[in-house]
Each structure stands twice: as C-alpha cells, then as structure tokens.
Amino acid sequence: MPQTPAQTTPAPAARAPRARVPLPKVPPEFDALPIWKMEPPKLVAMVKDPSSTVFQKAIACKKLAFVGGKDAIPPMAALLNHPQLACYARFGMEPNPDPSVDEAFRAALPKLSGLLKIGVINSIGVRKDAKALDALTRLIDDPDPGIACAAAASVGMIGGLRAARALQTSLARTKPPVFPVAARACLLCAENLMAVNRTRSLEVYTQLSGDNMPAPVRLAALRVLNAAGPAPVTGKKWPAPTGEAAARDKSGFLGRGR
C-alpha cells in the first residue's frame, strides 16, 4: 500500500565528516626507533653508560639479542641483578652463541635470589647448559618452591642421561609442588632419550607409569609403553606394574616376565 505524505520516512540528515585526530607523538625519551637503528658498538656503549635510562638499556638489550657479539655479554651480564633490566639482559644473552653466556649465567646463579634467580635458572635451561646440571640438581631441594620447580624444569630441558638420573632420584624425595614438575621434566628427558638410548628411555617411562605419578605423566608414559612393542632383550629385570598402569597395559610390554 503506498505511503501517504504523512507516513513518508524523512531522509536522514547528512553527517558532517569527522575531523581527523592527529596521532599521539612518542616522547623522545621513549622513542625506540633511533635505538633500534644503532650499530652494535653503539648499543653496547649504551648498555655500559651509567647515564643511559632504563628504557634505553632495555631496547639496546633487545636489539643485541639479534646483533650482539661476545663484547655485548659482560655489560648485559652486569644487569642480571637489576630488578627492571634483568629480563631484558637475559633476552639479549640467550640467543648469543658465545660460550661466555653460559659462564655468565653459571656465575650469577649463586649470587641471586627470588625471581631473579628463577630467571637465570630458566635461561640456563633454554641454553641447555649441561655444565650447570650439578648446580641445578642441588637447587631442586631449595626451600623456595619457585626456585626448586624452576631447577627441576631446567634439568628436564637440558636432558641427557645425567639429567634423567638426577630427576629420577629427585622423584623419591620431592613433594608437591615440586614433585609434579620433576615428573613432567623426567617425562621430557625420557622423550629426548628415545632417539639415542631407547632402553634407558623405556626404563624411565616405566618408572613414570607408576600409579604414584601425576595422572597426565602416568598416562603419557603408558601411551609410549603400550606402543613400544616387545621389550628389548637385556639382562635388566623390569618391575611389573600395579594399579591403573597394569589395567591399562594392552601391549604386554609392562607385564613381560609375568
């Protein structure tokens, strides 16, 4: 039905164009671009300079993660105890291939506490520094649970036979919240060992399949063991599983010799 003039909807009024709001300007003291364009020697000098601001040193450390050489390590290592810049220093150091990075992290470890120590422990794990295994193993028993958990996790990241032994031993004495972290770290060790020492890897998986282990770890270990097929021929006596581990065994691997 056609609309009468009274029923006709009036056309919307034309909107005036919005005025463009100018973009805010970055204050010069927080402009990272000039720092990001600097060459490595100038970045190192900025990190060393006592008059450089926290912001300047932070951006310089971030850029040195990509372009820094051996000469960049000492000035960044000097910041590992800085409450604001320690994380930037570690970010700048971790990708650097020079072995002096590992030496710097190991040297800083006993001098730090709390979150700063945890940060260095994490960096050591990222670097997979096997020379730090003894120190990290001792820290699994640290009274600070954050430090103990970080140490266990880093041992698992480093991996290898020594790391696996250390973590297996720690499972007999640690309690929550450290125990589940050590169990997951041990699971990571077992995974990495599979390519180089299958027999030892399966031994670790067998321990982790016990019903005293955290459920995610136990089920992950059972999945590997069930897919592993017949046990390798060795003189080692493997313990028979109990509880849920025995109930879930489908391959016969866990129950061999029974």
Q: Which long-range contacts (CB under 8 A, 24 or more apart) does 111-116 make?
A: 111/81, 112/80, 112/81, 113/144, 114/144, 114/146, 115/146, 116/80, 116/81, 116/83, 116/86
DSSP string, 245-256: HHHH--SSSTTT
pLDDT at 254: 47
pLDDT at site 255: 45
Write out pLDDT tens, residues 26-62. 888 899 999 999 999 999 999 999 999 999 999 999 9
Kindly give, in sequence order, each residue whose CB lies less than 8 Å from that of residue 94, ignoring residues fewer than 6 positions away: 65, 101, 123, 126, 127
**Averaged pLDDT for residues 103-125:** 98
* pTM, 2 dp: 0.80
Number of CB atoms found within 10 A of residue 211's CB: 13
Q: Measure CA of the first residue to CA of the last residue in the chain; give whole Å.
A: 90
Encoding tokens for residue 138?
Answer: 């001792």
Taking the domains of the chain in order of start, what are their residue ranges? 30-98
The amino acid present at 245, given as its one-letter code, is A
- Report yes or no: 168 and 186 within 8 Å, Cβ to Cβ: yes
* pLDDT of 216 strictly over 70: yes
State CA 157 to chain mean position distance. Answer: 8
Helix, strand, or coil here: 7? helix
Q: How far is residue 29's CA from residue 194's CA, in Å, rounded to a whole number?
A: 52
Q: What is the pLDDT of residues 220-232, one digit of tens each?
A: 999 999 888 655 5
The pLDDT of residue 125 is above 70: yes
